[in-house]
Amino acid sequence: MTEAIKPESWRFCVAPMLDWTDRWCRHFHRLLTRRARLYTEMIAAPALLYGDRRRLLGYEQGVNPCALQLGGSDPKLLAKCARWGEEAGYDEINLNCGCPSEKVQSGSFGAVLMLRPALVADCVRAMQDAVSVPVTVKHRIGVDRSVSYEFVRDFVGTLYEAGVRVFIVHARAAWLQGLSPKENRDVPPLDRGLAARLKEDFPQAVIVVNGGLRTLEECRSELQRFDGVMVGREAYNNPWLLSRVDEVLWDSRPSGISRTDVIREMADYIAGVQEEEPLAARTAANHLMGIAQGLAGARAWRRELTSPESWRRLRAREIILSAWRHVADPGVRS
């Protein structure tokens, strides 16, 4: 039986982003915010069946609330993967119905599934039968250049009847032909107003809006008409934004943590990563680049952090702390 849905749990989410929101990134983001809901990268269901499941799931204690996003269209396989995700400790299983890449289309999942709502309903019912955590769907407002509110309303309605209660709406259409996945994040027009109509027609559903959000002030404004907001690239490229999420959107007390505190903790953490997976440490460290955005010395920090010469000569902890010396952190405590 699915757990009761608490809308506040989706008040602020960090979007699933391929090659970005891996387990090292999630560890980093959790140091900055205790309340934000984090998501894995999209993981294809067949990869979990045939690949290194333990590594792909990559769950670590202490990063909750955290959701596993799956890609696929086989109800039985998705149910099995959802069960593995719940066993690994994830708080939510999310089905991707928004990715527009050709590779994903050829596998019959992602945004192309919006054209097959009955199949998606079968998938989510199978997943719900397999787990007790919420099964949610992330989708677009349309497919290709034809955007119709009736289309997305009927898609959501079909899944609502199947038991889905949380919908993460990327407020752009997915153009399946002629645009790259990167272009699909910017070129199709953004229409959060259309997405907001879903809340009017499905008042009992949790509607989370995604697309184009840059500031916490903008997020707070959108929370007047949505249950939650999801931020992607800005949360990754400017991660210090996350340090104010709990205070601004949940009225929590300021954490008092400084960037330097976070860097020191991540230096120790990545040193541990390097012990277990030597080749992974550099990838884990790349997630830190944006934390100096807007500060004096940010360019020197990024240059040294990513220097091939540094990674040939030094250990991860030394590289990170040495690079950070370039940055004038206004929040550092003496």
**Annotated binding site for FMN, which residues?**
16-18, 69, 138, 170, 210-212, 232-233
Classified as helix, coil or strand, 150 is: helix
Q: Which of 13, 66, 81, 99 is catalytic?
A: 99
Tell me the one-letter amino acid at 220.
R
Who contacts 282 (Cβ-Cβ below 8 Å, separation ≥6)? 311, 316
Sheet strand arrangement including 92-97: 12-14, 228-231, 206-210, 166-174, 135-143, 92-97, 66-71, 38-44
- Residue list, annotated binding site: 16-18, 69, 138, 170, 210-212, 232-233
Instruction: Calculate the CA dihedral of residues 109, 113, 118, 123 and round it to 10 degrees.
Output: 30
Instruction: Report d(CA 115, CA 112) in Å as an integer.
Output: 6
| Residue appearing with tokens 């007390």 | 253
> Who contacts 46 (Cβ-Cβ below 8 Å, separation ≥6)?
72, 77, 107
Verify whether residue 99 is a known catalytic residue. yes
Contact assessment for residue 270 and residue 31, using Cβ atoms and an 8 Å cutoff: no
Task: Catalogue the active-site residues.
Answer: 99
